[in-house]
Amino acid sequence: MSASDGIPRLAFETIDPAVREQLKPTVDRLGYFGEFFQVAAHVKGAIPAFMQYTGAVKAPLSDAHNEVLALTVCGALEADYERIQHERLAKRLGFPLDWIAAASGRPGSHASTLKDDERKLQALAIAMVSSHGLRCGSELEAVVAALGPERAVAALLQVSRFVNIALLCNALSLTLPVASVFDEPGA
């Protein structure tokens, strides 16, 4: 339990068996039961609904599109917990470190590392976060022109999803048992 928030972290063995079964592949892949799920498991039905929603909004987008949105939002909102998870996922998916750095807006990175459609998604995500979703019409139009309406809406939903996760992780000061890919030996 975090000393500051008073919300106990639930052990994997203590959560609902059906949710445990649903999360087992994720826990096995990561090698740990993340604090986000340790907290979310307090609300019955939240994790299955979250996982179903995640699958639906992620499906129309490529891995590169999903990861650039995740890394951009989490970088902009200083959400280290989720940013580090997505850095590690992007690396597992085969994205090079310079791409991951550009997607997360790390100092010294170059947006030119990203493809044109990825830069448009990044611009939309930054505009949405920095303006609270206001005045981002030109960025949205650029994404619609590049990716079409379905993927543009999926991108909007993903940005709002990552904002939600980032705010929750930041409010609870969640931490990971793993380091950023940029802090690993040889990075």
Asked if residue 179 is part of any domain, the answer here is no
How far apart CA 93 and CA 133 sit, in angstroms, is: 29
Same domain, 42 and 96: no
Q: Which segments of 51-105 are extended strands (E)? A: none
Please give the helix or strand (H or E) that residue 136 lies within, else none: none
Asked if residue 138 is part of any domain, the answer here is yes
Task: Take residue 105 and report the two structure tokens written for it.
Answer: 């807006």
Same domain, 53 and 141: no
Of the pLDDT bands very low, low, confident and very high (cuts 50, 70, 90), residue 184 is: confident
Same domain, 46 and 70: no
Asked if residue 186 is part of any domain, the answer here is no
Same domain, 141 and 89: yes
pTM score, two decimals?
0.93
Q: What is the CATH number of the domain that holds 21?
A: 1.20.5
**90, 97 in Cβ contact below 8 A?**
no
- The pLDDT score that the predictor gives to residue 1 is 45
Range of the domain at 38: 12-58
**71, 93 in Cβ contact below 8 A?**
no
Report the number of distinct structural domains present in the chain: 2
Same domain, 53 and 127: no
**125 has a pLDDT exceeding 90:** yes
Same domain, 98 and 45: no
Listed range (27-31, 128-132, 133-137, 163-167) with the worst mean pLDDT: 27-31
Listed range (28-37, 61-70, 88-97, 151-160) with the worst mean pLDDT: 28-37
**3 has a pLDDT exceeding 50:** no
Mean pLDDT of 170-178: 93
Same domain, 109 and 147: yes
- The pLDDT score that the predictor gives to residue 18 is 94
Q: What is the CATH number of the domain that holds 156?
A: 1.20.1290.10
Same domain, 17 and 93: no
- The pLDDT score that the predictor gives to residue 25 is 93
| Residue where a domain stops, chosen among 20, 36, 58 | 58
Of the pLDDT bands very low, low, confident and very high (cuts 50, 70, 90), residue 4 is: low
Same domain, 24 and 110: no
Query: Cα 10 from chain centroid?
Result: 22
- The pLDDT score that the predictor gives to residue 5 is 81
Same domain, 81 and 123: yes
**8 has a pLDDT exceeding 90:** yes
Q: How far is CA 2 from CA 11, 67, 150, in A?
A: 14, 28, 40
Averaged pLDDT score across all residues of the chain: 94
Please give the helix or strand (H or E) that residue 33 lies within, else none: none
Report the candidate in 33, 58, 68, 31 with the shortest Cα–Cα distance to residue 150: 58
Asked if residue 184 is part of any domain, the answer here is no
Tell me the per-residue pLDDT of 14-53, one tens digit each, with 9 for 90 and over.
Answer: 999 999 999 999 999 889 999 999 999 999 999 999 999 9
Asked if residue 182 is part of any domain, the answer here is no
Neighbours of 62 (CB within 10 A): 13
Tell me the per-residue pLDDT of 48-77, one tens digit each, with 9 for 90 and over.
Answer: 999 999 999 999 999 999 999 999 999 999
